[in-house]
Structure 1
Amino acid sequence: MATRRDCLKFSVAAALAAALPSGRLFAESGAGPVLTRAIPSSGERVPLVGLGSSATFSQVARSEDVSALREVLQALVDGGGTVFDTAPSYGASEEVAGTIARELGLTDKLFWATKVNVVGRGEDKADPAKAREQIENSFKLIGKDTLDLVQVHNLADIPTQLGILNEYKAEGRIRYVGVTSTSKPAYPRLIEAMRNEDIDFIGVDYAVDNRDVEETILPLALERKIGVLVYVPFGRTRLWNRIGDRPLPEWAAEFDATSWAQFMIKFVAAHPAVTCVTPATSRARNMADNLGAARGRLPDEAQRRRMVEFIEALPAAEG
């Protein structure tokens, strides 16, 4: 099974990341400023690439040594990023990130995006008291009086939980609200929420080999002026396994991609509906590499089609 580490050995960005501390990497590589996108409902601009905290980030957060996550969060900020996406269901991620951010003085430098979902397995209704308790706990763990974004996780009981989030928003304690789904069978419910609810954001899965959201969801986001956070742009490990040890094609330089991670992130970031891409990682060098996708040129439509054709020509990953 190929891993990101295998693929990075073909990357110029990886070589730089190995040689330089995260702050110096961006200063000395001459990569230019971080690209930003406007949040449609407000016009506030955020960096095009951020950090997620599921997967490997969550795994390390559960361990005794979280020093790697300290380096990742510092690399995010040093590289010009701000958006940090987390959730109570991501184990210790929210708590550990909140603690580290306070220790490093980064709390107010981050755009905190978290979630709420107290609907148990096999249930379809949320207990309002438990939902408020979970939200209040996020305030406590993150250490801010105002949270930037809280979304209803996995579309769970939207009437109850989004209603509560809107109460917090009206009070000025939450700036933006939204809903998330990374389940294709749930896309019709997501589309319904986008059409009928007053939301600022959605969070969805999107990757060069996972483009179903291009059909209706992303165009609707543009139409309804809803921001989009993209999750799992690497298809978790699926794309890494499919790419294997192949070198990055030379034509990727046409849109300033110097690694496979940048290739994959730039593909989704180039869609005009996307506000921020938030791949998870527990390695500072990967964080620096990911942020490289928010610099330089993005692929145009013809280049994006070539990217799709290239990936689709590869053998599908096993499993």
Structure 2
Amino acid sequence: MASNTIFMNGVTGYIGGTVLADLLKRPDASSYKIRALVRNAEKAQQLKALGVEPVMGALDDVDIIEKAASEADIIIATADCDHEPSAHAILRGAKTRFTATGTRPIFINTSGTGVLSDDARGMHTTETIYDDSDADQIASLPLTQIHRPVDAAIASADAAGYVYTYIILPSTIWGWPNHELVQKGIANYRSVQIPMLIAGSLERGHPGMVGKGVSNWPDVEIHELGDLFMLVFDAAVRDPAGTGHGREGYYIAASDEHTWYQISKAIGEAMVKFGRASDSEPTSFTKEELDKFYGGSEYLGSNSRARATRSKALGWKPTKMSKDMLASIEQEVKGCIEKPYKLA
């Protein structure tokens, strides 16, 4: 088996596709053997043509994932950050790798600032701001928070001494990537949160929001998120013990902050422009609409406030701010009209 082997999941997704595209563009890309979990046979062949070795399987195929992780020096997970079976399979594989080689593998996992979210339901903001350099504050998050069970298990594995772990927490991700994997139809080009709000708004024929929309979330542009992944990757490969890891290894991807009202207002303005609404001023989703569009969830009215202190200390320098995100929403609305976003 080649040294410097990378095993990834989620490469056909929005985040994972961007990370893989960035890896493939690196000047030292040829020094790594990249393997990727993939379900679709056609996409597997496309990945193979790009020099990526497909590992056929899905997140529930824990034996396949465990074996692939046990053969990797670096593991990058970008798929479902709440999928506990696959996360634990990766950790078992990493432990096997350590036992066999005596070297701790590197595990870069994707979580999200949803782990910081509250139950504001769009009715108020909060003064609580989480800082990724404050390990005690992050550790205080209860296991009842989304993403937290996986995050905590990964950090505990680092403490056990058989793997170096680094957890990246994207916020509201925006923008349409146009890298090679998107161009070839391998990877998804859409985020989740903003298209979800657009889809519900289009279906009701008027821009919607949860509650008053006054709650705050951070945001990050997709390519700048990819930049952070590469910085964490470089730091971990160069000096895994000296780079913040485990309990000290949380890296928030947040460049600016917005309210949900601002997003819904921008959606409304685009809907008016495209003849899908007569008024751009958002109104609250009714309980019936929340049930219909979002399974009753009011998550898109939560607060999640964060500072990317540790990420910026690595040299991350995002330049795309909330004003740029709001300006991009017209393209998102147009895209959702042309190709509707499916609500679960």
TM-score by structure 2 length?
A: 0.28
- Greater RCO between the two (CA within 8 Å, min separation 6)? 1
Larger radius of gyration: 2
